[in-house]
């Protein structure tokens, strides 16, 4: 369907066309690109070819160093851009295919590019929207009879995270230090976290925002959701356990969050939509929607220690296990008049399924450190060690093609000496 050759197992098929921000050794300027196969199409070289009713007046957005301005143009601009890109990359369109000079300038091999954060993230919110995960954690800390708090089935629970420590895949993560209370009969101690964990998550970028005081109705929420990325919300469980009462996560969460560099547009994911979770009790009217906005995205997490020859898969899950949808998350986030802005990042919370292999955190996989996670070759973990490399991958499977996200990877560095 495209004149660009794409392997059937590539995350970046013609059906995907995700957006990212990259630079190259010969051109260090951050610029917007679209991934297809093993190539990047540099949109700063293509901007004059966006001639539709919206983008013809805003071609400058493709000269920006982030996606924020493009995201801010809104739903119709995103749809128009996708149609233009599909036309330009199709096998039957000659404008780009036959212009050797333009192709030479516009295409960059992914192996020669450095990826950057796709947007300037003004605010970051993390939800807690997997029922299996919330139930597992609740059982660990409160017992089976009180696993879910009374509000959990009524609204998408969330908290405001730290936008400044969101990093792109490949950036290392420093083991955090802080206060912990491992022995409840003794005062707290200070030192490096001994229970450093991963959280398998996904997140979406807000596109067109809303004015302060004007909620986004759930019927229009999809028009404000630009696209999705993979996320690893690194968590220091021992720091978190001591600090979280009464105001929730703080230093146990804000030291680092990793996202994949490519933002997969929602239009590319719509063919993989599935019926939403059955919600009982029925949510309040402002949270109700009947259209399918749950997605069949295959997810996996692998871990490679310093002495390991190969990475071991520790989790296989799926985004379809989510209880609260992204539309519900955004509608709830803004129902009080909170203003979302282009580039804001809203995360799913840990994605766990019903089976142990689908648990999306080491807290669950090791059941609060009570059992080891076998990595093979004599290697085992309960929580992360220094030097461990964690990689999250995700993709939708079509008929002979994939819509994927590329890797979301980070390596643990030792704590700084205090």
Residue 328 has pLDDT above 90, yes or no: yes
CB-based contact 302:391 (threshold 8 Å): yes
Contact partners, residue 370, CB within 8 Å, separation at least 6: none
Please tell me the predicted confidence (pLDDT) of residue 399. Answer: 95
Confidence of residue 417 (pLDDT cuts 50, 70, 90): confident
Catalytic pick among 109, 116, 133, 332:
133
Residue 76 has pLDDT above 80, yes or no: yes
CB-based contact 204:326 (threshold 8 Å): yes
Confidence of residue 24 (pLDDT cuts 50, 70, 90): very high
Q: What is the pLDDT of residues 347-387, one digit of tens each?
A: 999 999 999 999 999 999 999 999 999 999 999 999 999 99
Percent of the chain with pLDDT over 90: 98
pTM: 0.97
- Cα–Cα distance measured from residue 376 to residue 215, given in angstroms and rounded to the nearest whole number: 50
Please tell me the predicted confidence (pLDDT) of residue 93. Answer: 87
CA 141, distance to chain mean position in Å, is: 27
Confidence of residue 263 (pLDDT cuts 50, 70, 90): very high
Q: What is the pLDDT of residues 159-205, one digit of tens each?
A: 999 999 999 999 999 999 999 999 999 999 999 999 999 999 999 99
Mean of pLDDT over the chain? 97
Q: What is the pLDDT of residues 301-318, one digit of tens each?
A: 999 999 999 999 999 999
CB-based contact 39:17 (threshold 8 Å): no
Please tell me the predicted confidence (pLDDT) of residue 40. Answer: 98
CB-based contact 213:337 (threshold 8 Å): yes
133 is annotated as an active-site residue: yes
Please tell me the predicted confidence (pLDDT) of residue 1. Answer: 85
Q: What is the pLDDT of residues 93-138, one digit of tens each?
A: 889 999 999 999 999 999 999 999 999 999 999 999 999 999 999 9
Please tell me the predicted confidence (pLDDT) of residue 418. Answer: 76
């Amino acid at each position: 369907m495209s004149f660009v050759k794409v392997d059937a197992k590539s995350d970046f098929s013609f059906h995907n066309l995700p957006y990212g921000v990259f630079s190259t050794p010969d051109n260090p300027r951050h610029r917007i690109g679209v991934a297809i196969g093993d190539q990047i199409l540099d949109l700063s070289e293509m901007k004059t070819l966006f001639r539709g009713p919206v983008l013809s007046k805003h071609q400058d957005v493709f000269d920006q160093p982030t996606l924020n301005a493009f995201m801010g143009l809104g739903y119709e601009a995103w749809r128009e851009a996708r149609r233009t890109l599909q036309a330009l990359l199709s096998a039957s369109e000659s404008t780009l295919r036959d212009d050797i000079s333009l192709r030479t300038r516009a295409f960059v091999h992914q192996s020669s590019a450095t990826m950057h954060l796709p947007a300037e993230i003004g605010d970051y919110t993390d939800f807690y929207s997997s029922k299996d995960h919330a139930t597992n954690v609740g059982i660990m800390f409160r017992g089976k009879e009180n696993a879910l708090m009374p509000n959990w089935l009524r609204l998408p629970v969330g908290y405001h995270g730290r936008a400044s420590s969101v990093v792109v895949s490949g950036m290392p993560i420093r083991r955090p230090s802080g206060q912990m209370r491992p022995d409840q009969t003794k005062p707290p101690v200070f030192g490096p976290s001994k229970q450093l964990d991963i959280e398998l998550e996904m997140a979406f970028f807000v596109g067109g925002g809303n004015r302060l005081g004007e909620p986004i109705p759930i019927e229009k929420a999809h028009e404000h959701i630009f696209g999705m990325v993979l996320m690893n919300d690194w968590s220091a469980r021992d720091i978190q356990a001591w600090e979280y009462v009464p105001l929730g996560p703080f230093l146990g969460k804000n030291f680092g969050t990793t996202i994949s560099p490519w933002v997969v547009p929602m239009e590319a994911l719509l063919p993989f939509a599935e019926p939403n979770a059955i919600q009982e009790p029925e949510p309040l009217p402002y949270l109700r929607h009947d259209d399918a906005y749950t997605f069949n995205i295959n997810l996996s997490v692998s871990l490679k220690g310093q002495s390991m020859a190969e990475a071991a898969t520790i989790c296989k899950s799926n985004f379809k296990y989510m209880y609260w949808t992204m539309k519900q998350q955004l509608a709830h986030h803004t129902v009080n008049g909170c203003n979302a802005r282009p580039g804001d990042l809203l995360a799913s919370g840990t994605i766990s399924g019903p089976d142990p292999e689908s648990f999306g955190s080491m807290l669950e996989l090791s059941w609060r450190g009570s059992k080891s996670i076998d990595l093979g070759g004599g290697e085992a973990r309960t929580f992360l060690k220094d030097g461990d490399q964690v990689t999250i991958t995700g993709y939708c499977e079509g008929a002979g093609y994939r819509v994927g996200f590329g890797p979301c990877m980070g390596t643990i560095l030792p704590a700084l000496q205090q």
